[in-house]
Amino acid sequence: MTSAHALSVIVPTFNEENYIGACLEALLREEELLHEILVVDNNSTDRTVEIVERIAVSHPAVRLVREPTPGAVHARNTGFDAATGDILGRIDADTRVGEGWARTVLDYFGRTDTESVGAVTGLSNSYDSPYRSLKGWYMRRLVSKGLLGNEQRIRNLHGANMALRRTTWERVKSATSVDPGVHEDADLALCICAAGTEIAQLSQMRADVSPRRALTPPGEFSHYLRAGIRTLERHGAMTPQHRRLLRLHWFTHLGAYLAYRPYDPDRHRFTVRRLIFGGPPRTMPVSAAVA
């Protein structure tokens, strides 16, 4: 280790055989900076476990942990509790961290002027996306205007690209929800803020994520948004402005769904077949039954 801090990265996973290999490959580019990588398997029935175990043979930092209770929040909690580092990174199985991701996290928490910050989250673009360049340009514009990144304090965490101090987790763990009908990352963020601890958004903490969430049908996406309402209501944070923003988010998602529907990421082009029949939707990380 080249830092006073030890960074553990937790990766909850369920049936991610098409993504977990590339996820771990990206992390392992900074293997010398990582204390450990914990892949928490949540009852996968495909080749996810086989792939992780094969990679772990040549990379001892990779460790497989199992959590039988279904739900990303249970896998996350098990990973956080099993980790032995004092900094807990958390990404999704379809995340590919960018160059210098671990160094950015360690350097930030290693500074003497960041002691009030208990968690950090970064910025993400999409891979396998025909709109990657446009999104990257827009994100850079927002950063240059000070609307994203720049270590500004925010009240949210992006579960696909975040890290927190172990002391922060231990402080708020008992307050977090395991309700499958809430957003576990937003709930964690609101618990952290309620404890008087700051969250910073870092411009250089970059990751690429799959755009497959855009393929979620608008009806199912409505369940996801209702989970956002439940999360805010749980913390007494729901306001008319939040409701308007969530409503706008639905229309924004509808536009993204229509834009992505004809695109085949395997063939890297738009097809008539995809336009008519669509592609496989992503299962959203909340329960529609309770959302």
pLDDT tens-digit series, residues 200-255: 999 999 999 998 888 888 988 999 999 999 999 999 999 999 999 999 999 999 99
Whether the per-residue pLDDT at 289 is higher than 90: the answer is no
User: What pLDDT shows up at residue 54?
Assistant: 98
pLDDT tens for 4-52 read 899 999 999 999 999 999 999 999 999 999 999 999 999 999 999 999 9
Say which residue, 290 or 285, is predicted with more confidence: 285
Percent of the chain at pLDDT above 70?
Answer: 95
175 vs 190: CA distance, rounded Å: 10
The whole-model pTM stands at: 0.91
Structure tokens at 31: 């293997």
Per-residue pLDDT, 143? 97
141 secondary structure, DSSP code: H
CA distances from 213 to 164, 220, 276 (A): 25, 11, 19
DSSP string for residues in 68-131? -S-SHHHHHHHHHHH--SSEEEEE-TT-EEPTTHHHHHHHHHHSGGGTTEEEEEEEEEESS-TT
What is the β-pairing status of strands 87-91 and 161-165?
A: antiparallel
Q: What is the pLDDT of residue 281?
A: 58
Query: Residues 154, 104, 205, 144: what is their CA dihedral angle, to the nearest 10 degrees?
Result: 80
CATH superfamily of domain region 7-209:
Spore Coat Polysaccharide Biosynthesis Protein SpsA; Chain A (3.90.550.10)
Least confident span in 47-51, 178-182, 261-265: 261-265
Domains of the chain, residue spans: 7-209, 213-277
